[in-house]
Amino acid sequence: MKTVLISEFGGADVLRIGEADKPIPREGQVLVEVAASSVNGPDLVQREGRYPPPKGDSEILGLEVAGTIAELGPGVSGWVVGDRVMSLVGGGGYAEYAAAYADHLIPIPDSMSFEEAACVCETYITAYLNVFMLGGLTDGGSALLHGGGGGVNTAAIHLCKALTPSAKVIVTASPGKVERVEALGADLVIDYKAQDFAEEVQRFTDKRGVQLILDHIGAAYLASNMKSLAVYGKLVIIGVTSGIKSELNLALMMVKRQQIIGSVLRPRPVPEKAAIIAEFTEQVLPLLAERRIVPLIYKVYPLEEVTQAHRDMESGAHFGKIVLTV
Ligand SMILES: NC(=O)c1ccc[n+]([C@@H]2O[C@H](COP(=O)([O-])OP(=O)(O)OC[C@H]3O[C@@H](n4cnc5c(N)ncnc54)[C@H](OP(=O)(O)O)[C@@H]3O)[C@@H](O)[C@H]2O)c1
């Protein structure tokens, strides 16, 4: 089958189109004929050699797929060949075929294109897990999301607005993205290059701080994040792009009864991911089917232009998701 190969770990130009064996679905898996996949932040880190796939998962890049079931593996029931599905995969999305666990499949509503469906699993499930299941955002609450134009955070804004419409959503963004993030419905957008976000959060919340922070910046934002967090607040860390070590005032954290939660989706065991996906499917799929939530697509590239797709992502110019069609 056609796939994307990495000649050696490095920049976007190490990506090339090549051939690999078609995966054979194992117990509980199906083979998906991939129509579309999408580029996610972790793909860039894997390409650089700093984020290997979990043991047993494909070495090929790509954390999610949308397509049709081509074959059922042993022990699979409830699905038939030809079903339109989207799925998280531990790896292998940038290819003509990918193996996915039947328990991780989500049916694609008739109202959704494959391109849109390829933008759902990694970003919306990450956002749902961390903002709602772990972060506990509730209606009437408040959240600070860092990096409003990115895949995970455009999804997080959509979900906050749809599931907790009266929660206040504060978002940091680079200056060129502020207006577009406002248009998504953020209650306050902070230009993180020109403004001190902790001061702005204090001002906006009358010094109470926010109930939840979703952060992928890590070390450089830890102190300001803790300043921005309310009593009983939760800081959920899903990335460490600025670094991994920073100082923390444990006494303040203790007195304010705050929690810092580290979270990754990809290495979780198959049944744990299945439980998250089941809840996500129940709560969010109807909103996608009714088009009350529509994934934000920045650009669509054929798989052959994967190098350009990665360069776009690295430039930071994108707003929403970059899709690869197969
Ligand atoms: N733990 C997990 O389960 C999990 C799952 C998926 C993704 N992730 C991580 O989540 C992060 C986002 O992934 P993604 O796919 O959404 O990537 P993305 O589309 O590139 O989004 C990242 C966003 O952050 C913004 N940003 C960069 N520096 C910033 C800063 N100092 N302050 C505020 N915003 C900043 C970027 O835009 P500007 O440069 O214009 O500001 C961009 O909009 C990545 O680090 C990824 O590895 C974690």
> Mean of the per-residue pLDDT values for the chain?
97
Structure confidence at residue 7 (pLDDT): 86
As a whole number, mean pLDDT of residues 300-308 equals 98
Cα angle 138, 143, 145; round to 5? 135
Ligand 1 atom nearest residue 266's Cα? 3
As a whole number, mean pLDDT of residues 98-114 equals 98
Structure confidence at residue 75 (pLDDT): 98
pLDDT band at 232 (very low <50, low <70, confident <90, very high): very high
Which residue has its alpha carbon closest to ligand 1 atom 26? 147
Residue 153 CA, ligand 1 centroid: distance in Å = 8
Exposure class string for 212-250: b at 16+ Cβ within 10 A, else e:
bbbbbbbeebbebbbbbbbeebbbbbbbbeeeeeeeeee
Structure confidence at residue 51 (pLDDT): 93
Structure confidence at residue 288 (pLDDT): 98
Q: Three-state secondary structure along 23-69?
A: CCCCCCEEEEEEEEEEECHHHHHHHCCCCCCCCCCCCCCCCEEEEEE
Measured in whole angstroms, the distance separating CA 196 from the mean position of its chain's CA atoms is: 26
As a whole number, mean pLDDT of residues 59-84 equals 98
As a whole number, mean pLDDT of residues 266-282 equals 97
Going by the DSSP 8-state scheme, the letter that residue 132 receives in this structure is I
Residue 79 CA, ligand 1 centroid: distance in Å = 34
Structure confidence at residue 292 (pLDDT): 97
As a whole number, mean pLDDT of residues 175-186 equals 97
